[in-house]
Structure 1
Amino acid sequence: MGMETIGEYEIEYAGVHLVEHEGWAAYVTIYGPSANPMHRNSIFPTQRVSLESVFESEAEAEAEARRVAHAMVEQAGR
């Protein structure tokens, strides 16, 4: 699982092995600003992204999840 901070947003992205298929899925969680430094404000709870895609490796799924998370944060910043 990867983690990054982009501006006020914290993103987590991961490749998750699929039980029902051979392959990996891309998952993203995004946290936004919080008034309490001990509390993370989940603005996009952990969800599978790029639903139509099944990736051959964990690294490919994680790269797609990261790409989607960056696009979402960029959209939120507008």
Structure 2
Amino acid sequence: MEIVWDAIALHLIAHVAMRKRPEIALVSVGAGVDLGAGPGALPDGYADQVHAVLPRLHAAPAIRDAIVNQALDDPQKGHR
């Protein structure tokens, strides 16, 4: 349970996540790719194969909109 908690808590703090267990680092790298950091290290065509089986369904805009809406509803949830 602690590994999952750390992975979730640190998934957007790559410089810390990369110093933790491989599972935690992998979640951080995956989140970065999912949110548009770019799949530069993936082999050509790999992302297309994965997305054919597991479509992204516009995940990045949906996540962004959810975060913005939460911050608008409760400003304490926004960046401080």
Q: TM-score, normalised by structure 1?
A: 0.30
**Richer in strand (by share):** 1
Q: TM-score, normalised by structure 2?
A: 0.29
